Amino acid sequence: MPTDFPSPDTRYPIRLPDGTDHVGTVFLRAVIDHPRWQVGDYSYASSEAPPEDWAHRLAPYLYAFSPERLVIGRFCQIADGVQFLTASANHRHDGFSSYPFAVFHRRFEGAASLPGPGRDTVVGHDVWIGAGARILPGARLGNGVIVGAGSVVGGVVAPYTVVAGNPARVIRQRFAPELVARLEAICWWDWPIDEICAHEDAICNADPARLARAAREVAQGRRP
């Protein structure tokens, strides 16, 4: 039977008990219209003070003319106050001054005070970013990463790692390496949403054999 899970194009995917929409949580695909964003299905963001412009709230220095991109996978969970500080926020800091003179005199061509283009910021699938976290320019967060509230995260974070702090450090690995490899191969986030909902127990419980059986059922087109 088809699921009643909301479409990824739904702006407000959570319905409150009184029948109204919870306007503080949005599916990002439905609210982001920005040429430098790439966001996967069912990834959501929440805010206690919902903005008109979610793209600006989450990534205030990512402009339409920026050379870098912000790439977010499927089923990511972005809590209140999270910001992505993308590469266009950078100053050049390899010389004697970090001051961005060109921003003020507006002669940009060949300006010595401007840094070169920075790397994309990439967030994998099923990543949970806690309240108030800051993701630094060019960061790469693997699938299944959990970022603690208030953390400042840069560099590469391996899949299924928990990080926290400023600067963020590894708190623990969520699973053993061989299980991480199996999870990366199963890629449940790429299944049809009906199959994901049908196998919710297998996905949300830490039973590798059960998830493997679910993956075989999905591959064979069978349902539990």
Q: Give the catalytic positions in this structure.
A: 91
* HEC secondary structure over the chain: CCCCCCCCCCCCCCECCCCCECCCEEEHHHHCCCCCEEECCCCEEECCCCCCCHHHHHCCCCCCCCCCCEEECCCCEECCCCEECCHHHCCCCCCCCCCCHHHHHCCCCCCCCCCCCCCCEEECCCCEECCCCEECCCCEECCCCEECCCCEECCEECCCEEEEECCEEEEEECCCHHHHHHHHHHCHHHCCHHHHHHCHHHHHCCCHHHHHHHHHHHHHCCCC
Q: Is 197 exposed, middle or buried (0-12, 13-18, 19+ CB in 10 A)?
A: middle
Nearest to 167 by CA among 185, 183, 180, 148: 148
Residues facing residue 161 across a β-bridge: 173
- 63, 137, 85, 31: CA torsion to nearest 10: 60
